[in-house]
Structure 1
Amino acid sequence: MNTTYIVKRKNIIRIGVLVACMLFTIVYGILIFNACKQREQAWSRQAKAVFLEAVGNELKKLDKMEIYGFHTITSLFQQKTLETDIPDSVVFALQDGTHVYHLPLHRRNNAYFKDGDKNIYLSLILEKYPFPFDSLHYAWDKQLALSDIKGKTGVCSRITDLSRKVSTFASGALEEFAPSDSLVSTYLGYRLEVELSGYISYSWWSLLPGGMVITVVLLWCMYIFFLVVLRQTESVGFETNCGGGKDS
């Protein structure tokens, strides 16, 4: 009778500890999931800022080439003019006639320069100097590594020329990215327009908070150790009871 009671009590303890471990794991699983989402959002915000900063640095290089190569007095970054609104359309008089280029709202909102005059000047620069998207991708990756942001990146450049023909160039394996991996897009210039898009994706293990994962692993290691100890005590108790029966 006592042996049966002890076995039942140990089973209850075993089940109670298992339930407690499972509940603890579920709660920690929710916390880990939220921590991963927060880390992903924080990394994405920082990666977007780094991307736009890298775009600015590459534009400064083109600006210097324009200044030193053609002795241009006006600098793209140093000119101090009142900001002019970006129009919803631009009219150009070309050899084959007048052309109207419409600028959708999302392009105006995501223009790198929120200044109409600077965008006109930028178009002239981009007509002479192609934007170095490979250099942009390298600079972006390098800064992300320095910031300890673990993500796979890619850069897509779409160039619309005067005849409205669109040419697409990629730096990185863009076919490996999903549409949801598109992080940021910015637009440069007017008639010779360049759309730069940055893609980034994170592996799930890079987002995991190491300390919380280790805590869950240690919990289940302790549970396994608890089962081993409990089984050994049951074996010792069984042997003791058997020995006692023979003596009697």
Structure 2
Amino acid sequence: MKVNNKRLLYLETIICLLISVGITYALYQNKAKRWEEQSSATFRQALELELQKRDTVMVFHKEAMGYSTLSLDDSLPKPIRIIDELGEREYIIPKEKYDHSLVKETLKRSILSILLEDYPLVPDTLNEIWDSLLITANIPVKTCIRISVTDFQERASVAHSKDIFESFSSDSLLSYYLGERCEVEVTGFVFYGWYEVVSGWGYFAICLPWIVLAFLFFFYKKIIFILERRFVKHETLTIKTMVPVIAVKAEDSHVYQLEEGVFFDTKEKVLKSASLTKKLAPQVAYLLKLFLESEGYRLSTSKIDENLWADGSGTQERIYTVIRRLRKSLDGITHLMVDYENDIYQLKSSISDEIVKNSTIPT
């Protein structure tokens, strides 16, 4: 593979990698956001369903569309007076806890405190309810629940569901607070990998740039050939210089004078001018010799195929490749060019509209 081709391949690979990463990130963000919204809604629903088991009719009521809390107070609660063995003192509920309290009305929070003291929440049970709701909603995420209860001395006892993950400790989904002092904190966690978020058409979108890259890599020559035949316009010109001019001896005619000061040695496979010498590849040299020996310096694609690939292995792509290499070899050393029209290639001059008769280089 040529250096330029390798560089192009590296560049295309980097571009495909960046596109695939961008598509993956966009898909992940889109679905992850939707899953987190649905997980939050089902987490609250699971908590309400679990509290319904504790005869909290005065706290919750059932509507036609499902479970929901009664109307909530907007103002912050007044400080709570606590009397225990340590005496009487006031307890102020932090604003962040009150804002996330599942029930805000004072009486209902008090009822929840009594009920949860007698019938505390069990993390595993609550997590099972949450999982079942997520499965019904077809959300393939893993969940975990942490329940923390703070006593009057501000000491917290924490319990987790069995499916706890270390990463959840720093990436909780949301928390709800229950009780008169918002002393019960229920926190839900979700976990999922990018491979779970990206599925179906998402994988196809990620792979599409690589499919395009592979197609262009293996078929770019054929694509260029088709585009050139369809869109590149070739002007018809004739040869001005001495083409061909047989040199040396009749029995050893292997040097052609293409124009003044430019010679082609078929034996050495060399194009030579006063200031430049080009060594031709064997197949390219043979093709140039075929042009010079053909009538009107014209060759059909079938004639080229027949002479260069006698075993029948020639293809349109191979023909185009050897023509392109011949054009590149002629460029810069002679005014001759290879024109194409109606399935016929012809050796022409780019500076003249006359054909000059042949002559021979003296021995």
Q: TM-score when scaled to structure 2?
A: 0.52
Counterpart CA distance in 2 for 1:19 and 1:94 is: 74
CA distance in 2, matches of 1:224, 1:194: 58
1:45 aligns with 2:37: yes
Match of 2:60, SS state, is coil
Looking at structure 1, the residues matched to 155 and 165 of structure 2 have their Cα atoms a distance apart, in angstroms, of 22
Q: Secondary structure at 2:149's aligned position in 1?
A: strand
Partners of 2:149 and 2:185 within 8 A in 1: yes
Q: In the superposition, relative to structure 1, how do residues 83 and 224 fare at CA in structure 2: closer, same or farther (>3 Å)?
A: closer
Aligned to 1:214: 204
Name the counterpart of 1:184.
174
Q: Tell me which residue corresponds to 1:75.
A: 58
Counterpart position of 2:187: 197
Number of the residue aligned with 1:121:
111
- How far has the Cα of 1:93 moved from its partner? 2.3
Aligned residue number for residue 283 of structure 2: 241
What's 1:141 paired with? 131
Instruction: Name whichever structure is richer in helix by fraction.
Output: 1
Gaps of at least 5 residues in structure 1 are 1-6, 65-73, 232-239
Number of equivalences:
226
Query: Is the contact made by 2:24 and 2:206 (CA closer than 8 Å) also made in structure 1?
Result: no
Contact 1:86 1:116 in 2 (8 A): no
CA distance in 1, matches of 2:8, 2:17: 14
State the partner residue of 1:54. 46
Q: How does 1:224-239 map to 2 (within 5 A)?
A: 224=214, 227-228=217-218
Give the counterpart letter for 1:57 in structure 2.
Answer: L
In the alignment, residue 173 of structure 2 is paired with which amino acid?
Answer: L
Indicate the residue corresponding to 2:230 in structure 1.
Answer: none
Q: Over residues 121-150 of structure 1, what are the superposed CA-to-partner deviations in whole Å (9 max), with x where a residue is unaligned?
A: 111111211113221101111211222222
1:112 and 1:188 in contact (8 A); partners too: yes
CA contact (8 A) 1:21 1:219 kept: no
- Matched position secondary structure for 1:164: coil
CA shift in 2, pair 1:229/1:80, >3 Å: closer
Larger Rg: 2
Equivalent position SS for 2:90? strand
Give distance in 2, aligned partners of 1:195 and 1:84.
Answer: 20
Distance 1:16 1:192 in 2: 63
Q: Distance in 2 between matches of 1:180 and 1:34?
A: 24
Is residue 157 from structure 1 mapped to residue 140 from structure 2 by the alignment?
no
- CA distance in 1 between partners of 2:26 and 2:70 (Å): 45
Show CA shifts across 1:170-197 (max 9, x none): 0034342244420110100025821000
Bigger RCO (CA 8 Å, 6+ sep) = 1
Task: Supply the RMSD in Å over aligned alpha carbons.
Answer: 3.8
Call closer, same or farther: CA 1:175–1:119 in 2, change over 3 Å. same
